[in-house]
Amino acid sequence: MSGSFTITPRGPFSLAEAATFGFGQRAGGAWDGVMRLAFCLDGYRRHAGVELRQDAEGVHGTVHGPVDLDLRAVRRQVARVLSLDHDGAEFSQVGARDPVIGALQAAAPGLRPPLFYSPYEAAAWAVLSSRRPAKPMMAVRDRLSQEHGAVFELAGQRLAALPTPGQLIRLESFPGIAPERMVRLRGVAQAALEGLLDVTYLKELGPDHAIAQLQAIGGIGPFYSALIVIRGTGFTDVLPVGEPRLLALVARLYGLPAQPGPAKLHELAEVWRPFRTWTSVLIRAAARRVTRRCARRGVPQPGRRWLTRAIPQPRCLGLRRMAHADMTVAVAPRLWGRPLTRAGSATPPSPTDSSLGHDRCRGAWCLVRQRWSGVRCRYG
């Protein structure tokens, strides 16, 4: 063990959300109270292993590595990887401005985007996983790291760090990696040795120029260059307008008739500034939690304009013909029997202000106030 450090988060943060967030070479999974990291330290010449735990005072790191390891550099890199180098209270204000994002933040409290350990490791993963299933390539990366990187014993588990660029560039072949991919991996290692994958350098270039420049590395196209820059450096306000899954989820959450184009997405995301990257990750990570919860409780999802999509048909078949397109729900309620109100309105209008409809469907009695966003359902 080389030492320890503590990071005090500014604003909400959950280490459990970060540890169970699966992306890239990390599968996520069960939470046992410890997040384990093993990586090439910035500069790409040394390795470090870190055990992370969280309590009321902050996030505490126990560092494993050479005795002369720079603890400040390790702390700085860990803070970047966990997005703890920014004020999360400002991100909470995005949810206050946009009720849809507020509902997602409530569903995943303290979630911030976990990043790749570095642009170098993001680029290596891009080459390994391009057009290949992620799970088998995770196993290949792990074997490569165990045989040619550094292995750490972290809270009772062994975790291997990727070889440094200097180690990787000397490899001619490796089982499970095709020869052309091995050539591209050595190209990534060469770029890292030349400083082209240095975090500070890429941040100075800015996201647009950095994304364009990284496409000069063999095997790195527009999609993966954006992944490396956005999820390897920590830019907080880059909007991924070409990400199909994000577009599909935005259309679903905001009740759009089709996936938004770049102009519409920019319009919706204007209130997400200066955390459009964080918000995009939150949508991808938490949208299913919100939609599952709404479906289970039989209430409209945030932003839904058509109740026929939000309320399960077996419970409320009668709502299909009574729903109106102008009934927009701001935030999903807790349970049946609690009214939904239009965004900006504390309480719904009185029943005399609207037409009423009711229907019996499978033993449920439903009352729908049309032309405004109030819905009240209870079982009879």
- CATH number for the domain including 207? 1.10.340.30
- Joined together, the tokens standing for residue 179 give 């020869």
- The pTM is what? 0.77
pLDDT above 70: residue 377: no
- pLDDT at 290 (0 to 100): 86
pLDDT above 60: residue 282: yes
Confidence of residue 25 (pLDDT cuts 50, 70, 90): low
pLDDT above 90: residue 331: no
* 377 DSSP β-pair partners: 366
Please tell me the distance from the alpha carbon of residue 157 to that of residue 248, in angstroms, as a whole number. Answer: 38
- pLDDT at 141 (0 to 100): 95
3-state secondary structure of 72: helix
- In sequence order, what are the residues at sequence separation of 6 or more whose Cβ sits closer than 8 angstroms to the Cβ of residue 131? none
Task: Please report whether residue 317 resides in a domain.
Answer: yes
- Joined together, the tokens standing for residue 365 give 């009695």
Task: Please report whether residue 288 resides in a domain.
Answer: no
Percentage of the chain lying above the pLDDT 90 cut: 68
Task: Please report whether residue 361 resides in a domain.
Answer: yes
Please tell me the distance from the alpha carbon of residue 39 to that of residue 82, in angstroms, as a whole number. Answer: 14
Instruction: Give the torsion sign (CA, 178, 180, 182, 185).
Output: negative
- pLDDT at 291 (0 to 100): 77
Task: Please report whether residue 295 resides in a domain.
Answer: no
Neighbours of 174 (CB within 10 A): 16
- pLDDT at 242 (0 to 100): 84
pLDDT tens by residue, 211-221: 999 999 998 99
- pLDDT at 134 (0 to 100): 85
pLDDT above 80: residue 315: no
Instruction: Give the torsion sign (CA, 364, 367, 373, 374).
Output: negative
Same domain, 207 and 323: no
Residue 49: domain span: 3-85+116-233
- Joined together, the tokens standing for residue 355 give 């037409």
3-state secondary structure of 104: helix
Same domain, 219 and 331: no
pLDDT above 50: residue 50: yes
Task: Please report whether residue 296 resides in a domain.
Answer: no
Please tell me the distance from the alpha carbon of residue 145 to that of residue 273, in angstroms, as a whole number. Answer: 38
Same domain, 180 and 38: yes
pLDDT tens by residue, 106-115: 999 999 999 9
Write phi, then psi, for 240 (nearest 5 degrees): -80, 85
Identify which of 234, 74, 49 has the alpha carbon closest to the alpha carbon of residue 155: 49
Task: Please report whether residue 202 resides in a domain.
Answer: yes
Which residue among 180, 205, 233 closes a domain? Answer: 233
Task: Please report whether residue 132 resides in a domain.
Answer: yes
Strand order in the sheet with 58-64: 3-7, 58-64, 47-55, 35-40
Q: Mean pLDDT score of the chain, rounded to an integer?
A: 81
Same domain, 210 and 341: no
Most confident region among 127-136, 245-254, 331-340 by mean pLDDT: 245-254
- Joined together, the tokens standing for residue 124 give 């290596």
pLDDT above 90: residue 235: yes
- In sequence order, what are the residues at sequence separation of 6 or more whose Cβ sits closer than 8 angstroms to the Cβ of residue 270? none
Which residue among 233, 266, 283 closes a domain? Answer: 233
Whole-number Cα distances in Å, 192 to 122, 127, 157, 165: 11, 14, 29, 6
Confidence of residue 323 (pLDDT cuts 50, 70, 90): very low
E strand segments, 217-280 = none
114-118 average pLDDT score: 96
Same domain, 220 and 129: yes
Which residue among 180, 199, 233 closes a domain? Answer: 233
- pLDDT at 1 (0 to 100): 64
Task: Please report whether residue 297 resides in a domain.
Answer: no
324-351 average pLDDT score: 37
256-283 average pLDDT score: 96
Same domain, 206 and 323: no
Q: How far is C-alpha 104 from the chain's CA centre? A: 11
- pLDDT at 294 (0 to 100): 58
Identify which of 147, 191, 189 has the alpha carbon closest to the alpha carbon of residue 166: 189
* 150 DSSP β-pair partners: 161
242-249 average pLDDT score: 91
Confidence of residue 379 (pLDDT cuts 50, 70, 90): very low
From the CA atom positions of the chain, what is the Rg in Å?
24
Q: How many domains does the chain have?
A: 2
Same domain, 222 and 326: no
Q: Identify the H or E element spanning 81.
A: helix 71-81
